[in-house]
Structure 1
Amino acid sequence: MNLRPHRREPTDINLTPLIDVVFLLLIFFMVSTTFKDDARLRIQLPQANGEEVAAEEPMVIRLVIDAAGHYYVDGQALVDPEPKTLAQAFRGALGERKSLPVLIQADARTPHQAVMTAMDVASDLGLNRIAFAATRPNEQRP
């Protein structure tokens, strides 16, 4: 009979799951906590009684093409739909500036060739920022 006491091995406590849970709780509380903005400076700005400055309208060349293919540059009708006439109108709208964006508002029934001609003329003059205006279906007028 073996009456010697059994040797007990020291038991180690595995702390890895505990550390994982603590970090998860820390992350949870950091994410769910709302912080006050105490760090911001609280100042009262002085009031001004000066004149209001009107914001300038963004400079753009507005080209409207109707269903018949007639061009209107910034509200002015062109005498004919020739590319030369359109180029002169673009140059007049540019003035001293080198480049402006061109906004093309074409009727849904406008011939594609009229739009392509306008794009070609604008591109030849170095007006490469071309945008197209459209309306949403519920905004169309009868």
Structure 2
Amino acid sequence: MRIRDHRADDEPEINLIPLIDVVLCLIIFFVITTTFDARSVLKLELPRADGEPAPAQSRALSVLVNADGRYFVGDREALRTDLASLKRTIAEVAGPDRDRGVLLRADARTPHQAVVTALDALGQLGFRNIAIATAPETAAAPAPRATGVAR
């Protein structure tokens, strides 16, 4: 006489609900962490200068050059560090308005060529109101300011 074992009829199954929960939490985590402000990552040490601060411009286009020579226009990063890529990024962010002011913020440790490339790209695109941000000579006031306007 053969006794049948009913446990063998139970087929194993994989419950996907916990896996879906984990994947959903990971997606939410990555979406939230990638939307942080890009400028909070940039640590700029502005060059020092004496002089009168220029009046702040509310609609000024912000061009940042970090210590590695990478460019950030507004809230977008230029894909490469060459002139054509920088001009394309500036044109996309600024649109057709070439009369608006530009605030160039370059790290004090930035290679001089990176600053010249940024100025060249802005000049070729037709921007004439360019200010270079500097930090005050004294360490008491850490807020950056624009000290000069190139026309």
1:110 maps to what in 2? 110
SS at match of 1:63: strand
Q: Return the index of the structure with the highest Cα Rg.
A: 1
Structure 1 residue runs without a partner (length 5+): 1-56
Task: Say which structure, 1 or 2, has more relative contact order (CA 8 Å, 6+ apart).
Answer: 2
Deviation of 1:98 after TM superposition, in Å, equals: 3.4
Q: Deviations over 1:53-108 (max 9, x none)?
A: xxxx7211101100110000012111111111111111112223233211110001
Deviation of 1:111 after TM superposition, in Å, equals: 0.5
1:39 maps to what in 2? none
102-111 or 87-96, larger mean C-alpha shift: 87-96
Deviation of 1:140 after TM superposition, in Å, equals: 4.7
TM-score by length of 1: 0.55
Query: What percentage of residue pairs aligned between the two structures are identical?
Result: 31
1:134 maps to what in 2? 134
SS at match of 2:103: strand
Residue type of the partner of 2:77? A
Which stretches of structure 1, 4 residues or more, deviate above 4 A after TM superposition? none
SS at match of 2:135: coil
CA–CA distance in structure 2, aligned partners of residues 122 and 84 of structure 1: 11
TM-score by length of 2: 0.52
Higher fraction of strand: 2
Q: How many corresponding residue pairs?
A: 85
Residue type of the partner of 1:101? G
SS at match of 2:127: coil
CA–CA distance in structure 2, aligned partners of residues 72 and 101 of structure 1: 16
Residue type of the partner of 1:113? Q
1:72 maps to what in 2? 72
Deviation of 1:125 after TM superposition, in Å, equals: 0.8
SS at match of 2:134: coil
